[in-house]
Structures are given as C-alpha cells and as structure tokens.
Amino acid sequence: MMAPQVVSSPFLKPFFLKTPISVSSPRRQRRHTLPASEFRNLTPQDAISVFEIEREAFISVSGECPLTLDEVLVFLGQCPELSMGWFEEGQLVAFIIGSGWDKEKLEQEAMSTHVPDSPTVHIHVLSVHRHCRQQGKGSILLWRYLQYLRCLPGLRRALLVCEEFLVPFYQKAGFKEKGPSAISVAALTFTEMEYQLGGLAYARRNSGC
C-alpha cells in the first residue's frame, strides 16, 4: 500500500480544542454542530466580524481604529497566513492581524503596508470581543499565534506598538520594550515591543511544525 502524501502548506490548518465527550447523551455526540473552539487563519470573508470587534474595542474608547475595514480587507487578502482568529461555535471571539515588515523599527508606513517575504511580522491588532475579555483569551491567542509564527519559515521576530498601559501585558507574553515608537495616531503615542522568534531550532524540532 502506498504511504499517504504529506502536503505542507504555509497556512494554518484549523485545529479544534477537544471538548469533553458526554457519556450520558449519545444522541448529542452524533449531532453535527460547529466546533466548540477553533483557531484558524482569517479570510476576507471574516473582515466584517473583525471590524465589529475592532470598532467596539477602539472607536468607542479613543475614536481611532488600528485598521479601517478597507485595510482589514487588504491585509486579509494579501497575507492571511499572518492572521489568526479564535472562533467559538462559529463566532469570532478574538483575532490578530499581522503583515510583513522589512526595517529594524516600525515606521508610519508600516501601518498600511505588507512587505512580502520579510523576516519581521508587524502585529497591527490583537482584540478580544468585549464579552470575552479578562478570561485569558487575549494571552492564549497571542501565545498560539507566536508558536504558529515560529513554524513559518524565514520569520525572525514580531513587532508591535501599544499604549503604555498594555506594556506589562505584552511583557508577560515575552515581548521586550524597544522604546518610544516613531508612530503616532492623532494624539496617541506608543511604545514599540519586540518578540524574538529566531534561534529556536530546538523548539521547532519539538513543536510539530
């Protein structure tokens, strides 16, 4: 018998969290429902759900959104492999959108640019649905995303900018502070944060990439 062929893809195959199987209700096991929990790359079809979460998270607070709906559509069209969504029963509950960048530090131009085949991922936005915040979801999604990036060939680091109050959140995830960012949006100023993905040959060998 021929061995099955393994086709490697740069995209994230959807994977599901295992939910406990009910022993008391076998009928429930047979019913085909949406997966309880799924992580996958986003597509342009997810843009509206993304933007709804983003709008609530940012516009109501600061009047500014990291990405407009058009920019979400552009990035999910150009580099869907640098995004990740967390879906619960088909509903988007948290997401990350990234794009490629090729300079040492982030510049204003990075906000609307994807540089293909570059060693750096610029994380534009991480956002959790307001009903799901403070439950660990932002941290879990970020951790999964960084593990996933390690498996993508050629990537060395992830960069992002955030407001001062979120520096501890990203430090807990392993990011290091790089100092004040050249990027500003309206009156908002930011700190640049960096996460090293490289030098992890051992982790790669043992992570099922």
Ligand X SMILES: CC(C)(COP(=O)(O)OP(=O)(O)OC[C@H]1O[C@@H](n2cnc3c(N)ncnc32)[C@H](O)[C@@H]1OP(=O)(O)O)[C@@H](O)C(=O)NCCC(=O)NCCS
Q: Which residues bind ligand X (CB under 6 A)?
A: 57, 66, 125-128, 133-139, 162, 165-166, 168-169
Nearer to ligand X, 102 or 164 (CB): 164
Q: What are the residues facing 83 on neighbouring strands?
A: 97
Q: Name the DSSP class of 111.
A: G
Q: Which two tokens stand for residue 170?
A: 């990203």
Closest alpha carbon to 183 in 78, 101, 84:
101
Nearer to ligand X, 148 or 190 (CB): 190
Nearer to ligand X, 22 or 182 (CB): 182
Residues written for the chain:
209
Residue ranges of alpha helices (H) inside the chain are: 26-30, 47-54, 60-62, 69-78, 137-151, 167-172, 201-205
| Rounded Cα gap, residues 50 and 120, in angstroms | 23
Nearer to ligand X, 83 or 127 (CB): 127
CB of 58 to ligand X, least distance (A): 6
